[in-house]
Amino acid sequence: MTTDRDPSETALDVHGLAGMLRISTDKAYQLGNDPLFPSFRVGNRHRFWPSEVRAYTQQPRDPWKQSARSLGRKRNR
């Protein structure tokens, strides 16, 4: 997901994301590991562009969509 970012916009770390979304830092780390959530890594640290996070949180959700976690699971038949 790419959006037109303001060149002066600075990337948030996990603590900045937690404050922006009013969530715990543990949940922010989980979001950083989620392949669908807009984040990138600098070394071993997660970073987030605030404009991409806002765009991601404002997009409509499909309640019947299969989660990314369950897409990776192997089915036993």
What is the CB-side half-sphere exposure of residue 36 using CA atoms within 13 A? 12
Handedness of CA 20, 40, 71, 54 (dihedral sign): positive
Better-scored residue on pLDDT, 74 or 7: 7
pLDDT of residue 45: 94
Better-scored residue on pLDDT, 8 or 57: 57
The pLDDT-based confidence of 4 (bands split at 50, 70, 90) is low
Average pLDDT in the 12-39 region?
94
pLDDT of residue 2: 55
How confident is the model over 34-72, as pLDDT tens digits?
A: 888 999 999 999 999 999 999 999 988 887 777 777 776
